[in-house]
Structures are given as C-alpha cells and as structure tokens.
Amino acid sequence: MAADFSKAKAITITYLTPVSFASLNGSDKEADNISSIKKLTRETDNGVKEFPYVSSQAIRRALRDQLATMGYSLSEGVTAKEAKGAATTQCNPADYLDDDLFGFMDAAKGEKTRKRTSSVRVSPLVAQDAYQGDLDFGTNYMSVKAGGTPNIFETEIHGGLYRGTILIELDRVGSGEGFKKDIDAKQKSDRVKALLDALQNLWSSGRQSRFLADLSPKFVAAAITTVKAPIFLESVQVKGNTLSGTTLDEVLADHKNVVIGSVFGSRTGLFQSTPDDTKTVGEAFFAIKKWVQECYDQNGA
C-alpha cells in the first residue's frame, strides 16, 4: 500500500559530520591574541569536559549563504527606520524563500509589528568529541611594513565528529504568518527541496580562508511524520566510529504510529553498525525529496 503523505506535518533530519581540523564558530576572545571557539561544558565518565559547537544562528547563516550560492534571490537587509533600531529583511515571504523558511520580525516604533516564525527549526551542531586544548599559531606581518613587529596570535582548533538536527514544518512552508495567500504547491515543494540541497552541501562561511571545513552530512537519519518532533535528535549515538543502529531501529519502533516514512544514509566506510537497509547519503536525500514531492502533490496548493 502506498504511503499516505496527506497528513504529513514535518520532516526531521539528524546528521553527523566528521571534521578533521577546523575552527568552526568563533567566540569572544579569551585574551588579546587568542581567538576561541564556542564550547559547552558537560560531565562525562572522565570528568568535566568542554565540547565545541556551532551555534544554530551560524548554521542558519550557512544555509542562507548556500542558497545564495545556488542562485536564489535572498531578502536583503533593510536599514532600521529609527535610530538604534534593529535592521530587518524585506519581510516578504511570498517572494523570498529565506523570509519564508527562516522567518523575520520588524517591530518599528509606531507601526504594527510584522513577523513570521521560522518554519525551519535548527539545533546547534555539537561536537561528540571533547576539546583537547589544541591551538594554531599564526603571525600577522601586516604591521612590519609600517615599522612594527610581527603580531603573533593563536586560534583554538578542534577535530572530531559533530551532530546536528533540522526540522522542517511542511504545513507552514509557503503559508500562514506573513502571507496574504498561500503560494502554490510546486513553489512549496521547490523551496523545501532547495533547503535540502543547501543542507546536503553545507559548509560554514566563517574562518574558511585558513580553516576550510566540510560540514555536509556524512550520516543522516530522517523521517517524515504526522507530528512535529525531532525524534532522532538525542538518539544518533556514536562511540569511535561505531554507530548504534539498534537505538535508531528502536526510535522507529517507538514512533511507528506517527512515522510515515524513514531513511538512513551513510558515507561508505565511515561508520560501523549502521541500521539495516542504510543507503548512501545521496540516495537518502533523493528519498527525502520524493517525500516532499508526494506531500505537496497529495495536499494540493
């Protein structure tokens, strides 16, 4: 029997990406010559450890940048209408897919607030391996020509496996807040597929001139569901390069009443003990796009 996508409300994707050497998301300087990375502190079996992460804001920025690279027109920033006011976007989700997917707010004084809650929810990209205190040493010679001395600086670096999740509210894309009328089903489908392409080719635009890093998923666990819940968020667990496929199978069993379809994708040779019928990452994204097409075809405009 063909799957019924007419009741689909969301797609959730949890992904893993290994990073060999990077400084992914800058934080405040700990000292004048040290550029730190963002970290959170956790209690582990081996004591308190720090784990680097890429903020959800940075991931959203990276997705936006990739959409621009792919040729999509984005809603450009608009100067605030009042002194010290916050800049905003065009606030036009009908014409700009980033206003639709990532939301906006324009709360200019004396005017009715215009807003749209993001239809794409993003978790931080959190390292599964602790920070080991590694530093990259650099020297800025720009001041030498002016009679100065070289400026030595340090940058925190990290290598390891990172985990992130996005959740796309399918029933809100192209409709609701900010829209005078819904866009058609094809536009909705195209926008979600574009976002999936951006995720599949994700990279961080920050610090890439010296620390080029590939953040594209090397493992994905995805589901299309009748509820809005990131069911894989805390269940994609890896020790070394061994992935707990049993845990993922258990997630699907526990949520079988709300899961319409699911898929796992992995880069060959990177992980062990993947779930049965795991596809390549490309095949997994192809399957997810087919869900999107079926969802909007069955639901109409």
Q: What is the mean pLDDT of residues 224-240?
A: 94
Q: Is the pLDDT of residue 76 over 80?
A: no
Looking at every residue in the chain, the average pLDDT score rounds to 88
Instruction: Please tell me whether the overall predicted TM-score, pTM, comes out greater than 0.95 for this model.
Output: no
What percentage of the chain exceeds 70 in pLDDT? 88
Torsions phi, psi of 142, nearest 5? -60, -35
Q: How far apart are CA 54 and CA 257, in angstroms?
A: 33
Q: How much is the pLDDT for 36?
A: 87
Q: Half-sphere exposure of 126 toward its Cβ, with a 13 Å CA cutoff?
A: 17
Q: Is the pLDDT of residue 94 over 60?
A: yes
Beta bridge partners, 175, equal: none
How far apart, in Å, do the first and last CA atoms of the chain sit? 24
Q: Is the pLDDT of residue 143 over 80?
A: no
Q: How much is the pLDDT for 204?
A: 78
Give the number of other Cβ atoms within 10 Å of residue 239's Cβ: 10
Q: Is the pLDDT of residue 108 over 60?
A: yes
Tell me the chain's radius of gyration from C-alpha atoms: 21
Closest CA to 199 of 241, 165, 235: 165
C-alpha separations of 117 from 79, 100, 104, 129, 227 in Å: 21, 9, 7, 33, 18
C-alpha separations of 154 from 52, 143, 144, 184, 210 in Å: 17, 17, 18, 51, 13
